[in-house]
Amino acid sequence: MEAEARRVFGLYGYREIRLPILERKELFERGIGETTDIVEKEMYIIPRDPARGDIALRPEATASVVRSYIERRLYTQLKPARLYTIGPMFRHERPQTGRQRQFHQTNVEALGEAAPALDAEVVRMLMAFFEAVGLADRLVLSVNSIGDPVCRPAFRASLAEYLEAHRDRLCEECRGRVGRNPLRVLDCKQPGCQPVIEKAPSIQDALCAPCREHFAAVLRYLDALGLRYEVTPRLVRGLDYYVRTTFEVLTGDLGAQNAVAGGGRYDGLVELLGGPPDPGIGFAIGMERVALLLGSAPDRAAAFVLLIPLGDPALARCLVLAQDLRAAAVPAEVAYGARKLRAELERANRLMVPRVLIVGDSELTSGVAILRDMRTGDQRSVPLGEAVATLRALHGEGHV
């Protein structure tokens, strides 16, 4: 999964950044927001001396990337800065399938560019990752705009007013949210809250003209890129730094933990954390959830060819031949000669190696080995001196 992420993101010009797991607690309080679940109840805090403040195990990576962007003055380089990082995050949640207290994210950020085309490209890249791991058909892309500091306060007020009027029909947690963070109510999964949420005012109707135009442009570029998506006005995300574009990738196969990735724009966060007024956008993929969807890895050999020696002199020859194959970038494995040919061929089948090269003592003397195509069962003789070139050509053709 990580190799595919690196490959795909590399195609879009992203580079890896490594970040510490420990950061000052304040970074997340200011970055993610004091009234979010993450900051209110999910952070692992390590007390430090009172003068210098506590430190925290990072619950996410965006705030750290932004801190690093500011501290390392990455904004003085060509923008956007395109960065990704892969690693463990920590949230003190109730563990269940698809929800761990230590989990792994592949996290992407693009900083210093406000154009809506970037939003569309970032989302396209996220879906390219899911295509690469073969999951795209099982996932739904959900997008929304949650406005900005110009239009959101009025929406927030009208939403709070509406929720206040229906307070008695909300769950206890949502009642607490109405005054502090009413948008989070829209994200509540409790069945009892759904009728109230369904009739709530829609952020889409409350967007100011610049936000509306930005979102329309994002959708236009997503269309141009041929992406299928749903506009979900209730998609608000659980972190406070978002403005305008937000998105999630959802699955129906993991119960309540239905988001395999989420992200959005966070123009204003860099400035809030002490940097220049640079915009940003990014996402994080929950790698355990991706792994759950993929299921256990197929029992598949990494090798392209299994060399089967029959007899000890042949084994020595196969060990050397395997070295030559690897030097020619052909993944090779050697059977160590303790089993009968039939047993080795059965093992080759289970390993799913595309080719087998059989080298017997008589083959050694004649200088010819037998090359077997495991899919068709076809066999042919190959001069031992040509085995490497032949297998390299087959491997290069992508032949299986």
- Interface contacts to ligand HAM, rule CB under 6 A: 60-62, 91, 93, 98-100, 103, 105, 107, 109, 238-239, 259-264, 266, 282-284, 286, 288-289
**Which is nearer to ligand HAM, 204 or 245 (by Cβ)?**
245
Whether the Cβ atoms of residue 86 and residue 8 lie closer than 8 Å to each other: no
Least distance in Å: CB of 265 to ligand HAM? 8
Least distance in Å: CB of 196 to ligand HAM? 23
**Which is nearer to ligand HAM, 99 or 124 (by Cβ)?**
99
**Which is nearer to ligand HAM, 104 or 355 (by Cβ)?**
104
Q: Distance between CA 24 and CA 46 in Å, rounded?
A: 10
**Which is nearer to ligand HAM, 30 or 395 (by Cβ)?**
30
3-state SS assignment for residue 85: strand
Least distance in Å: CB of 383 to ligand HAM? 53
SS (H, E, C) 328-341: CCCCEEECCCCCCH
Beta pairing partners, 83: 15, 109
Gyration radius from the chain CA atoms: 27
Least distance in Å: CB of 329 to ligand HAM? 35
Strands 44-46 and 55-57: antiparallel
Cβ neighbours of residue 34 under 8 Å, at least 6 residues apart? 40
**Which is nearer to ligand HAM, 42 or 324 (by Cβ)?**
42
Q: Distance between CA 319 and CA 345 in Å, rounded?
A: 18
Phi, psi of 28, rounded to the nearest 5 degrees: -80, -35
DSSP state of 352: T
Least distance in Å: CB of 275 to ligand HAM? 16
**Which is nearer to ligand HAM, 287 or 310 (by Cβ)?**
287
Whether the Cβ atoms of residue 331 and residue 302 lie closer than 8 Å to each other: yes
**Which is nearer to ligand HAM, 100 or 196 (by Cβ)?**
100
Residues in the chain: 400
Angle of helix 116-132 versus helix 209-224 axis, rounded to 10: 40
Least distance in Å: CB of 182 to ligand HAM? 19
Phi, psi of 2, rounded to the nearest 5 degrees: -65, -40
Task: State the residue for tokens 């295509």.
Answer: 131
Least distance in Å: CB of 104 to ligand HAM? 8
Least distance in Å: CB of 205 to ligand HAM? 25
Whether the Cβ atoms of residue 59 and residue 42 lie closer than 8 Å to each other: yes
Nearest to 141 by CA among 10, 19, 284, 249: 249
Least distance in Å: CB of 256 to ligand HAM? 12
**Which is nearer to ligand HAM, 286 or 309 (by Cβ)?**
286
Contacts of range 370-377, beta carbons closer than 8 Å, 24 or more positions apart: 372/345, 374/348, 374/349, 375/400
Nearest to 260 by CA among 268, 272, 252: 252
**Which is nearer to ligand HAM, 82 or 289 (by Cβ)?**
289
Nearest residue to ligand HAM, scored by beta-carbon proximity: 286
